Amino acid sequence: RDHVTLVLRAPLSPPERRWLRHPLPGSAVRVPTVAVLIGRNGSGKTAWLRALTNTIRFATQSYVYPPGPVALFPAFASPDALKEPTRIEIEFDAPALPSSDPEETNRLYRYTLEMHRTESSFFPQTVGYEALHVFPRGRPRRLFERSENRSVYVAKEMAMRSGDDRLVSVPANSSVLSTLARMGVETFSTIVTFLAQIQMNVSFPDTTRLPTETVADYFRANPLVRDQISNKLGRFDLGIEKMDAQLGDDGKWHLVFSHRDLGWDIPYESESAGTRQIVDSFPALNFVLETGRLAVLDALDNDLHAGLVDEILDWFRRRDTNPGNAQLICSLHGLSALEELEKEEIFIVEKDTEGVTGAYSVRDVQGVRRNADLRKLYRGGALGGLPAIG
């Protein structure tokens, strides 16, 4: 219903800090390696993250969708919203085009998607507009653009004629980016592969976790990563000395944990919810930290002690554990992290009386000093987004 924008870029005024990184070599732009969404229950934190992750899913996977409505983009639950399209724009850095300057490794892109629905439909049926722009030297240039009549413009360097069969075969409810990547257009395949590596747990209606068997197989096949999490679990003071993978009588691999002062191993299923949460999340977190990719995680602090949440956030803030500039966008319910984070890393999400969600950075709140106690300010209502109780 309304235009909602969330800008992660940090202004140039703050001094150089380890948690503000330059995503593009030589760029003056800086972004935080951690972006935390906070706000009261029902404020729209999950809805905002879902808009981001569902757009990524559509851009990378929609070629295989069956004909019909696209359930990723439901309308706002009001009669007026059913008449309006859903439009989303995402700016991101990704590998540079093969024809780019050989010294460039990454470039800035903007993906735009507008989904159209009939007046009586809760879910959209067709793509009304879609485009991908790249920004060489800061100026936008189209790589492709698609209008509601399904005509598709593709840049010359894609080596595709205007009447190419691949262009006219793009389904009405699927992405050009996803379709042409599946059909082997190299540039789009590279971008889709990059986007598909974004790690996310945001789904509907709840967050998702990897199947236990998948997690066990991952740690069995990666002994170095298994040793890493064993060390981290020990640091978290959970009484755990080691995690290992054992082959069970059922022919499947299972995770077991050695505890101090216990004479036998404890199976994964008997560990605390917090331990299982760390173990389940670690493959995604470790992947993005090793590859410099993005993780989008809703309710990161579910079942976790505040100290463990601070530790996970610090993995992304420190250069020694995050040399590749990986980024974490997450939502939190607890407030303890506000004591460690700075204003460029915190984003307030709140909903007005008509149910419209808004989001803004704490850096945009007037009068917030660099050394301010952000947790105290939030609890006092100075930052907004505070639950109204009573």
Instruction: Kindly list the domain boundaries of the chain, sorted by start residue.
Output: 65-193, 209-292
What amino acid is encoded at 95 in this protein? P
pTM score, two decimals? 0.90
What amino acid is encoded at 33 in this protein? T
Q: Which pLDDT band holds residue 345 (cuts at 50, 70, 90)?
A: very high
Contact 331, 45 (CB under 8 A): yes
The pLDDT tens digits of the residues spanning 164-202 come to: 778 888 899 999 999 999 998 888 999 999 999 999 998
Cα 37 to Cα 23, 103, 285, 300, 368, distances in angstroms: 21, 35, 18, 10, 18
**What is residue 390's predicted lDDT score, i.e. its pLDDT?**
47
Strand partners, 349: 359
Torsion region of 117: left, alpha or beta (phi above 0 gives left; psi -120 to 50 gives alpha): beta
**What is residue 389's predicted lDDT score, i.e. its pLDDT?**
54
Contact 363, 11 (CB under 8 A): yes
Q: Which residues of 46-57 are buried (b: 16+ CB within 10 A; e: fewer)?
A: bbbbbbbbbbbb
The pLDDT tens digits of the residues spanning 252-261 come to: 999 999 998 8
Q: Which residues of 319-349 are buried (b: 16+ CB within 10 A; e: fewer)?
A: eeebeebbbbbbbbeeeebbebbbbbbbbbb
Q: Which pLDDT band holds residue 286 (cuts at 50, 70, 90)?
A: very high
Contact 140, 132 (CB under 8 A): no
Contact 54, 46 (CB under 8 A): no
Q: Which residues of 96-118 are buried (b: 16+ CB within 10 A; e: fewer)?
A: bbeeeeeeeebbbbebbbbbbbe
The pLDDT tens digits of the residues spanning 37-46 come to: 999 888 889 9
For the record, the structure tokens of 357 come out as 């969600």
**Interval 282-307 mean pLDDT:** 92
Give which of 121, 123, 126, 161 is closest to 146, Cα–Cα.
126
**Interval 238-248 mean pLDDT:** 88
Q: Which pLDDT band holds residue 386 (cuts at 50, 70, 90)?
A: confident
Give which of 212, 217, 257, 227 is closest to 239, Cα–Cα.
257
10 Å Cβ neighbour count for 28? Answer: 7
Across all residues in the chain, what is the average pLDDT? 87
**What is residue 95's predicted lDDT score, i.e. its pLDDT?**
80
